[in-house]
Structure 1
Amino acid sequence: MEPRPPPPVPALFKVAIAPLQAFFRLEASSGILLALSAVVAMVWANSPWASSYTSLFDAPLALEGAGGRGAFTFREFVNDGLMTLFFFLVGMEIKRELAAGELRTPARAMLPLIAAMGGMLVPAGLYLIFNAGTPAAAGWAIPMATDIAFSIGCLTLLRGRVSHALVVFLTALAIFDDIGGIIVIALFYGTGVHGEWLLAAGGVVVALAVCNRFYVRNGIFYLLLGAALWYTMHHGGIHATLSGVVLGMFIPTLPVRRGREVLNELASYISRTLKEPEDEAVRSAQILYIEEQLEDIEPPLNRFVHLWHGWVAFGIVPLFALANSGISLAGMSLADLAKPLPLGIIVGLFVGKQVGIFLFTWVAVKTGVSPMPGGASAAQLHGVAVVAGIGFTVAIFVATLAFPGEPQLLAEAKLGILLGSLLSAVVGYLLLRFGPAPKAALSTSPL
């Protein structure tokens, strides 16, 4: 008996759900959602219901276990707990690019590395010009970051105006920014090193290396080891969210078996099963077997990235923006933007990023270190360098580390991040949208 086809989807349901499906297929959607979350947080924190915003994210939580009791707020749970998954995804993306992506050879990685150095050193230097010798100097690393979701989302909106090579260049640059930010957080924003706990963390890393060596694919092992690494790093004085990066770097990038071998076996198996009598129960078991065999040719890293990307991009990062972008403007004036802290961040992101990236890249190209990505013009490179000044997620994260227990400085820092990022996004978009037309060869960009 032939199985009945599934009932048709009602037309009204299709009409209602189609815009949502299109939204989540849009490459820029994560950046759009991130921006909306920041806007909602700002409006909420300055509305008549501002107290509910504070009450929600400052709500006390507790976690009890055999080792004792831990108390934290909902905001700390998001920043120190859920953001570990964000850094886990960052770690896997870095490893994938190093293993099989645009950073797999020194020649490919050299130009974005040089550009990233300029995009970190110049903004940090400009920030210190405004804030050296003040309590705000601790935030020198804030304008170093480039937000991948926002910046790539901005370029995605410029369909046909930016070459694919420049998009790859910006992505690689942002990845090096992430690596630099991770190193800065580990070295400068810890809470004091405790050797015995770091030794325990080292033991967990060895266990992760063993799992990587023997191509362990079961996520439970990595979940348990990741939790242990978070706990030991937290007590060891290194910010615990970086455990996500370490964990991501140990997820295997190679499949268990060669794809050709598995596909040949499946071809023979399917040929045999098609000659057998039709039996729905047997057929279900056969399909399950095929699915299990196909899993052998999918690297665990790819599977984990696909599994977590949606949760991080459309859940954790927007929640982080919602929890950390609610700056009360009560008592503030335009004169506050001229204070050294927000001004240093705005100048660092908007001026420092574009000057550092463009200058370092231009020198590297002129000295023959690497060719210009896709043969792009100086105007296009400049526009992309401006867009790279969108520093949101990691910048706010660093601000929360730089100014713990200093709500006034933290509020000023967040204000500077929001305005500096907005300025970079708007000006960068306009430069690329209305600047010189790209070469005909570049107009075929998939963006």
Structure 2
Amino acid sequence: MKATKLFNAFFESEKSGGVILLVATALSLYFSNITGGEHFVAFWNQDLGSHTMAEWINDGLMAIFFLLIGLELEREIFIGELSDLKTASLPIFGALGGMLIPAGIFLLLNFGTPTQAGAGIPMATDIAFAVGILSLLGKRVPASLKVFLTALAVIDDLGAILVIAIFYTDNLSLLNLGIALGIWAILFVMGKYFKVRNLIPYLVGGVAMWYFMLHSGVHATIAGVLLAFAIPFGDGGEKSTSYLLQHFLHKPVAFVILPLFALANTCIPVESGWQQNLLHVSSVGIILGLVVGKPVGIWLFSYLSSKSGICKLPNGVKWKHIFATGFLGGIGFTMSIFITLLAYDDIHIIDDSKMAILVASLIAGLIGFLSLKMTLRKLKH
């Protein structure tokens, strides 16, 4: 599998973006727990017009993040690693297992309880952190494994988007949803049949679509994904509208939007006895789902699909590498926290879930890094 130029640019931006995300998280936790930390927490919760600052980030700026995810997914489907079914099948099945098994583990512990709505939390993978940790291993990582993890994470994000759209939508307004989809249809026709290449009408239409989606009951960030598939892809070359926008968005998303999301959503006051809260069934479900369910689900579904002849293992990659990489899939962070905010209203459950996500992501990341460092040792030279 050959890594494309844009894939390499994406990998590099996510690599450095993962470091920035880690720093932002550490700063947020630090400032939330020093003397006067309540002012830092209050800063993100202050009203800014009709929404709080955190809500503008989560509902507004994160729509741009989802726009980038949509553009990357579109590229992978048309000309990338997902364009060939045989090649795409392994990360597709891996992502499917990496969603179903963690959700199953969570539901096994939480079904019928007030926290069962959190089943989507351990299903997610954070691309920036996962790719960032993989990149720390340097040249010993084969390109095919980089592509597998990136494709897996992108498909995982698509799964998370579908989960948000289907299971975390309340008080549906068919009128606003209809207007939003109508705007999308107009934009799609403009690009597909009238060959409009200028970005301005798409961006203006995208903002309007976001507004009506926000008031429809469907989470507003879905507008970002829909907009991505309306923007003209053409031949996918460097002069295509889709390529230009995707290339432009890499750095703002990696270095501004995701760090802001981390700052606003990981400002968790760590109170005495927080360790005991990790023993709550919802926290245990999140931790086991991410640390155990993710690697087991990714490996198991990948292995079974390969043995059935549907797909094949990439060159230079062994099953132990897939299992070790599965732990990196257990770094939920951004998407897991995002789904937490949609799943729960109780601030205590939200904070406990965030802490469980941080602990689980740290454990999964460390195990994944150390496992790959050992199993890939012979591939160093």
- TM-score by length of structure 2 reads 0.93
Instruction: State the alpha-carbon separation in 2 of the partners of residues 83 and 437 from structure 1.
Output: 38
The 5-angstrom pairing of residues 99-110 of structure 1 reads 99-110=78-89
Say whether 1:41 aligns with 2:21.
no
1:306 matched residue in structure 2: 247
Instruction: State the alpha-carbon separation in 1 of the partners of residues 359 and 69 from structure 2.
Output: 25
Say whether 1:338 aligns with 2:279.
yes
1:268 matched residue in structure 2: none
Deviation by residue 1:217-258 (Cα, 9 ceiling, x = unmatched): 3222112111111112122221111100100111111159xx
8 A Cα contact 2:133 2:365, kept in partner = yes
Change (3 A) 1:172 1:26: closer
Change (3 A) 1:349 1:229: same
Identity of aligned residues (%): 41
- Bigger Cα Rg: 1
Please list every run of 5 or more consecutive structure 1 residues that lacks an aligned counterpart in the other structure. Answer: 1-23, 63-70, 260-296
Instruction: State the alpha-carbon separation in 2 of the partners of residues 156 and 314 from structure 1.
Output: 17
Instruction: State the alpha-carbon separation in 1 of the partners of residues 125 and 68 from structure 2.
Output: 16
Please list every run of 5 or more consecutive structure 2 residues that lacks an aligned counterpart in the other structure. Answer: 1-10
Say whether 1:419 aligns with 2:359.
yes
Deviation by residue 1:136-157 (Cα, 9 ceiling, x = unmatched): 1111000001111111111111
2:216 matched residue in structure 1: 236
Instruction: State the alpha-carbon separation in 2 of the partners of residues 219 and 135 from structure 1.
Output: 45
1:53 matched residue in structure 2: 40
Q: CA RMSD in A?
A: 1.8
8 A Cα contact 2:331 2:360, kept in partner = yes
8 A Cα contact 2:94 2:301, kept in partner = yes
1:382 matched residue in structure 2: 323
Q: Across the two proteins, how many residue pairs are aligned to each other?
A: 370
Question: One-letter code of the match for 2:195?
Answer: Y
8 A Cα contact 2:122 2:286, kept in partner = yes
Deviation by residue 1:157-186 (Cα, 9 ceiling, x = unmatched): 111332111111111111111111111100
Say whether 1:28 aligns with 2:11.
no
Instruction: State the alpha-carbon separation in 1 of the partners of residues 14 and 286 from structure 2.
Output: 28
Question: One-letter code of the match for 2:265?
Answer: N
| CA apart distance, 1:26 | 6.8
| CA apart distance, 1:205 | 1.4
8 A Cα contact 1:162 1:380, kept in partner = no
Deviation by residue 1:7-62 (Cα, 9 ceiling, x = unmatched): xxxxxxxxxxxxxxxxx967521001101111111111111121221221011111
8 A Cα contact 2:14 2:127, kept in partner = no
Deviation by residue 1:251-309 (Cα, 9 ceiling, x = unmatched): 111159xx8xxxxxxxxxxxxxxxxxxxxxxxxxxxxxxxxxxxxx6011110011111
8 A Cα contact 1:379 1:436, kept in partner = no
2:226 matched residue in structure 1: 246
Change (3 A) 1:363 1:126: same
The 5-angstrom pairing of residues 32-431 of structure 1 reads 32-62=19-49, 71-213=50-192, 214-254=194-234, 298-404=239-345, 406-431=346-371
8 A Cα contact 1:255 1:298, kept in partner = no
Instruction: State the alpha-carbon separation in 1 of the partners of residues 123 and 18 from structure 2.
Output: 19
- TM-score by length of structure 1 reads 0.80
8 A Cα contact 2:180 2:213, kept in partner = yes
Change (3 A) 1:175 1:87: same
Greater mean deviation of Cα atoms: 73-82 or 159-168: 159-168
Instruction: State the alpha-carbon separation in 1 of the partners of residues 155 and 92 from structure 2.
Output: 6
1:65 matched residue in structure 2: none
Instruction: State the alpha-carbon separation in 2 of the partners of residues 353 and 438 from structure 1.
Output: 26
SS of residue paired to 1:338: coil
8 A Cα contact 2:141 2:376, kept in partner = no
SS of residue paired to 1:426: helix
Question: One-letter code of the match for 2:222?
Answer: L
Instruction: State the alpha-carbon separation in 2 of the partners of residues 121 and 98 from structure 1.
Output: 22
| CA apart distance, 1:211 | 2.2
Question: One-letter code of the match for 2:184?
Answer: V
